[in-house]
Amino acid sequence: MRRSQLIRRLLATTLPAALVVGSATSTAVADPMLARNMSSFGMPGGIDTPTAETLPDGTLGGTLSYSDFARRANVTFQAMPGLTTVLRYSRIEGIPDGDDDYISDRSFDLQYQIVDEQGWRPAVAVGLRDFLGTGVYSGEYIVATKNITPTIRASAGLGWGTLAGKNRVIDTQDTGGKPNVDDWFSGGAKPFGSISWQVNDKLSLVAEYSNDNYLASYSDGRTYRQGDTEPDSNINLAAYYRLGRAYEVGVYTIGGETFGAQFSVALNPREAPYPSGLEKAPAPVRPRPSPAADPEGWSGSWSQDPTAQPAIQKALGDALADEGQILESMALSSRRAEVRIRNQRYVNQSEAIGRTARLMTRALPPSVETFVITSTADGIPTSSVTLSRSDVERLENTEAGRIAAASTISDPELRPVGLVRSEDIYPRFRWAIKPYLDLGVFSAADGLTHEVGAEARATYEISPGLELTGALRQRVFGDVFQRGPGIPGQNREYYTPEEYLADPSLETTPEGVPRVRSDTRMYTGNHDPVIPELTLAWYTKPTENVYTRVTAGLLERAYGGVSAEVLWKPAASPFGFGAEINRVRKRDFDQLFSFRDYEVTMGHVSAYYEFAQGFTAQVDVGKYLAGDKGATVSLTREFANGWQIGAYATKTDLSDEEFGEGSFDKGISLSIPLAWATGQPSRERVQTTLRSLSRDGGAQLNVNGRLYDRVRDSQSVKLYQGWGRFWR
Amino acid sequence: MKPARKIALLVAALATLGACSNGTADEGDLGPLGALASVAGDVVASRGSRGDETPAAPPKSPAEAAVEALRVNPAPLIQAGFESLGRTQVMAMTGQNGAMRTYMTPAEEALILRNGMLIGTRGLGHDLSVAEPQTETLIRSGRSGNGKRVMRYFSGDGLERPLQFDCSVGAGPNPGVMVEDCTGHGLSFQNSYMGQGGQIAVSRQWIGPTLGYVTIQTLRP
């Protein structure tokens, strides 16, 4: 990265003097108009109607709302200032579906705050509710919100669709999943509004006027009433009570006769319990003695002594081990030292580099002026940060941007002269036995499912980049049982495992698509030990910025074979390009060493780009597990503290009918570092992907160790985004 | 054994039994569940031991702690009272870079001072990354005047963010005490410094919005 760009990026991180303290000290209404309550649809709002409020940028929240009309589980993400997104899973009562008297429905909402409140002008937002396909909740709105007094806030808007009490007719032939632009803002509008009164810090009361009449109409003429009775008035009332900073409970009425209850949680990545972490203070810089006090050390003549480097390397390696770093190797001359480290403790690579630099000032003789700190991804070097020792001494404990400006980042040398591997690092054997918990969070038809058991996992690193990994799992209890895929044309009816095993033709759908993921439940519910993974992986770096991976063995729960990948990613570039090819065979459902008949060669080419402000984009084009061809686009927002929230969509050449409900595959991925929540330094993460039910179109192979995420942690964009922790 | 203590031991036992490996927690072998269990075990265990009704020895008073530290530790020492944490601790110098000194507690929490002036903290969870007080020369020379003070903190999203304060320096009510009054961002705080031959011997300084004030006394310069 060019220097000026670097400085600009750093300035961008330090300029907004946003309040580290804001909400704790200023009780008055903060500048952007922030939501007081969440609506039952998971948006800033009254009860059923929206308001023009927003959430603090980056907020991730969940709202569970329960009434006779529906149970709704909403996941809310403030993707950008002003842009609020909601993914909703609903159980809508009163609409027959098979033997049941309810349907399970998934829907997406978007709301954008066009202007914030300023002076006499109210905040104004426009929103789309349930906008992918025609859904039960489809509606659009434009709404304005204004503070009348410091405690009373009023909203008024115009709604279309359900918000106007004119529910859209649902096309029974539609497989859903695509925006139905023709319907938007059509069919006549009606006004709605709400008033909220903040009684005190905890309690707020809301009254609203809503037009929703809770009907659902289908193109084949059926019309159903959601719940038991139509709301007998347009007035809804609610009381919300805040518990701590993150939680809120509420009760509400829809009309006069239907009551509901609600629970919300909102996590703001900016509000960590221990923002600076609880890790121990780093060892301080040790400045060099004057040349008069240590003439031999300054002359560099010590480097002629063959015992010098082993002794220094041992001492530095031990000190780094205390900091959770492995000193993989070191090259030492009288003027320059390069260390290659593996960071095992800190979320931000800059913190590992900063601590290493300080330890180097304590371990190296005074003549060594140039420090090169090379980060490795499990032994494969990914970037080199070069610092002058004088700068480290001069700038200790100053604003992090100053040492950033004095550093350079480059691709590591392929074969540096004099690089000596530390003793006793390889071969390296690690094992662990740990509990596991598999949660099926939002499988619409099944509700929340779980499985608990024990997993033993071992890794044997034979040499840098050559790893043998195996895992063994034993289920203990859970409510995920083995079953076949759904019977085509019948809702919530599934083949039994016996039926599915007895008839091999069932492994292809009636549309002729091989079942590559839709029979994933056949792999669950095993009461015997299973082998989720058993692989030999080989990572190398043939040129300065090309990385390769070959993985062979039982790659994942359902597939085994060989996977090969190549990635071009210079350390100082926001661009990356890669390609992957896999030859895999479907594993047997007992997840041991036998295979089924289905075999496929698939793969893709990928382009990656890291934007400013932590946005990264990835495009994959290629062939998926079922042999379908298409592309995946993913967009991820990543915070310096390690939070990652992303969305992806895959469209392949399968027709909507072949693909099934939803037309194309899409989902949301979340990953939160444990260190953010506990303050304890750790690279451990809690992560999950919310996606549509397992379908066969656009299915990707789940091989571990893909190169891009391994490599970019220590490369320019991500490294400098988290650079603020250098002097930690 | 008190119930709380029993639970603490139980949780700690669960954490160790529930997940075990040949490596350290660093290596990420435990998984989020295992790591969380071990953190919870630590927290509960430390709570349990703090709440123990029959401690092995009565806690030392700050004065006794100071005397003992001076006896066993030859390094420069300070005594720091963290008001919001409700504890007073002896801290020993672990490094010196020019005029900048790093003092640490036995648990490796650090205060970074420049000739007695607080310029950073480490390991306290809501640390001050760095303070850039333009009022420093006024305070040291005992003159009145105004200056800016920039205090940099990590926000929860992982960025270092500056807060800027406007400060006025003047003599305090007691002889030899300089007082620095600062306001900004809806906050205000007052630092006081008692000098001794150009050095700051005793001071009460503001770390930040969450940690509040620390009182620093030089035991051995």
**Among A164, A149, A153, CA closest to A123:** A153
Q: For A299-356, write each residue's pLDDT tens digit.
A: 999 999 999 999 999 999 999 999 999 999 999 999 999 999 999 999 999 999 999 9
Averaged over A173-184, what is the pLDDT?
75
Domain co-membership, B132 together with B179: yes
**Three-class HEC string of A268-287:** CCCCCCCCCECCCCCCCCCC
Computed over every residue of chain B, the mean pLDDT equals 81
Which pair of tokens denotes residue A364? Answer: 């190296």
Q: Which residue of A lies nearest to B42 if distances are taken between CA atoms?
A: A680
Alpha-carbon distance of A254 to A214, in angstroms, equals 10
Q: Is A377 helix (H, G, I), strand (E, B) or coil?
A: strand
A19-267 matches A428-463+465-719 in fold: yes
Domain that holds residue B34: 3-50
Residues B125 and B204 in one domain: yes
Residues B80 and B151 in one domain: yes
User: Do B46 and B66 lie in a common domain?
Assistant: no
Find the helix or strand (DSSP H, E) in which B64 lies. helix B62-72
The CA distance from A459 to A471, in Å, is 9
**pLDDT tens per residue, range A357-400:** 999 999 999 999 999 999 999 889 999 999 999 999 999 999 99
Q: Is A126 exposed, middle or buried (0-12, 13-18, 19+ CB in 10 A)?
A: middle
Q: What are A645-654's pLDDT values in tens digits?
A: 999 999 999 8
Chain B closest CA to A378's CA: distance in Å? 11
SS3 of A363, please? helix
| pLDDT exceeds cutoff 90 at A154 | yes
Q: What is the mean pLDDT of residues A285-299?
A: 94
Regarding whether B84 and B8 lie in a shared domain, the answer is: no
| Cis before A427? omega within 30 | yes
| Domain covering A428-463+465-719, topology | Porin (2.40.160)
A55-64, A168-177, A527-536, range with the lowest pLDDT: A168-177
When CB atoms are compared, the residue of A58, A676, A683 closest to B28 is A683
> In this predicted model, what pLDDT tens digit does every residue of A528-582 receive, in sequence order?
999 999 999 999 999 999 999 999 999 999 999 999 999 999 999 999 999 999 9
Are B119 and B180 in the same domain?
Answer: yes
The pLDDT mean for chain A works out to 88
Same domain flag for B44 and B69: no
Give A680→chain B minimum CA distance, Å. 8
| Residues B12 and B110 occupy one common structural domain | no
Give the max Cα distance, chain B: 63
Contact across the interface for A287 and B97, Cβ inside 8 Å:
yes
Read off the CATH number of the domain in which B208 is found.
2.40.360.10
Q: Are residues B66 and B43 in the same domain?
A: no
Q: Nearest Cβ partner of B29 from A58, A287, A457?
A: A457
Distance from CA of A578 to the nearest CA of B (A): 27
B 124-163 → A contacts, CB under 8 A: 124-127, 129-130, 132, 152-163
**Which of A313-327, A710-724, B22-36 is least confident?**
B22-36
Mutation pick from B119, B159, B183 vs chain A, by most beta carbons of A within 10 Å, is B159
Where in chain A are the domains? Answer: 19-267, 282-426, 428-463+465-719
CATH code for the part of the protein at A19-267 = 2.40.160.40
Greater confidence, A542 or B51?
A: A542
CB A687 within 8 A of CB A548: no
Structure tokens at A332: 């030492």
Residue among B74, B72, B77 at smallest CA distance from B89: B77
The pair of structure tokens assigned to A193 is 């509004």
Residues B43 and B131 in one domain: no
Does the pLDDT value for residue B48 go beyond 80? no
B99 and B205 inside one domain:
yes
- Name the one residue in this structure whose structure tokens are 């240590």: A294
Return the residue in B157, B161, B210, B211 with the most chain A beta carbons within 10 A, the one to mutate for interface testing: B157
A611 vs B33, residue with greater confidence: A611
Please compute the mean of the pLDDT values over residues A80-89 and round it to a whole number: 90
Q: Report the 10 Å Cβ neighbour count for A71.
A: 18
B166 CA: distance to closest CA in chain A (Å): 15
B7-18 pLDDT, tens digit each: 444 444 444 445
**Among partner residues B112, B161, B187, which is closest to A25 by beta-carbon distance?**
B187
Strands A247-254, A235-243: pairing is antiparallel
pTM of full prediction above 0.90: no
Question: Please, which residues bridge with residue A258 across strands?
Answer: A254
More confident residue, A489 or A91: A91
Could you report the predicted ipTM of this complex, rounded to two decimals? Answer: 0.83
**Domain tally for chain B?**
2
Nearest to B125 among A17, A21, A276 (CB): A276
Asked if residue B83 and residue B192 are part of one domain, the reply reads yes
User: Which whole number is the average pLDDT over A235-246?
Assistant: 90
As a dihedral over the C-alpha atoms of residue A204, residue A208, residue A213, residue A216, rounded to 10 degrees, the angle is -50
